[in-house]
Amino acid sequence: MRTLISTAFVSLDGVVEAPGGEPGYRNSGWTFQDLEFVPEAYTIKGSEQQEATAMLMGRVSYQAFAPVWPSMTEEFPLYNAMPKYVVSTTLDESDLVDNWGETTILRSLDDVAALKETDGGPISMHGSAALGRSLSDAGLIDRYHLLVFPVLLGAGKRLFSDTDKDKQMLTLVESESYANGIQKLVYDVVR
């Protein structure tokens, strides 16, 4: 079974929306504001590219990434080359860009579960807040790679849903704190 990894920049109060500067959000760009840049805090992004063998995202994240990431050949060479999977009930094949490699549309969480049963290495999920919450609630996420920022944002899309469900235990497998207050937390989901 393939490992599904949810990777996120997250505020201390659980917001994942608009970390890089996406328009239409009051605190857009919060990951790069007010904190000293500490390069070692972001080394997890390079190791994620090395580890992953496929990318998973929801429609909204796909539509945000697809016009930009293919041209970022120095920043994302391995992500750009690997297969991509987009979970969407509305996206059509004609909506896919043709310069970002192999992309497959999955129509349901059952399709994601089936993908996890295929041969191959880890699948990395970026952005995709709504999809991430649904996958977590369905028990399909195996690991979390989190960069937790020392900021409280209040409003915004959350990493985890507020669904009333059974307790889910996590095991901390890696952690590190950085001089600017960011914490790297890597958790495996206990099954």
Domains of the chain and CATH, by start: 4-189 (3.40.430.10)
**pLDDT single digits (tens) 30-80:** 998 889 999 999 999 889 999 999 999 999 999 999 999 999 988 889 999
How far is C-alpha 190 from the geometric centre of its chain's CA atoms? 19
Quote the CA–CA distance of 137 and 173 in Å, as a whole number. Answer: 21
pLDDT at 105 over 90: yes
Quote the CA–CA distance of 128 and 57 in Å, as a whole number. Answer: 6
Task: Return left, alpha or beta for 21; rule: phi > 0 is left, psi -120 to 50 is alpha, else beta.
Answer: left
State the pTM of this model. Answer: 0.94
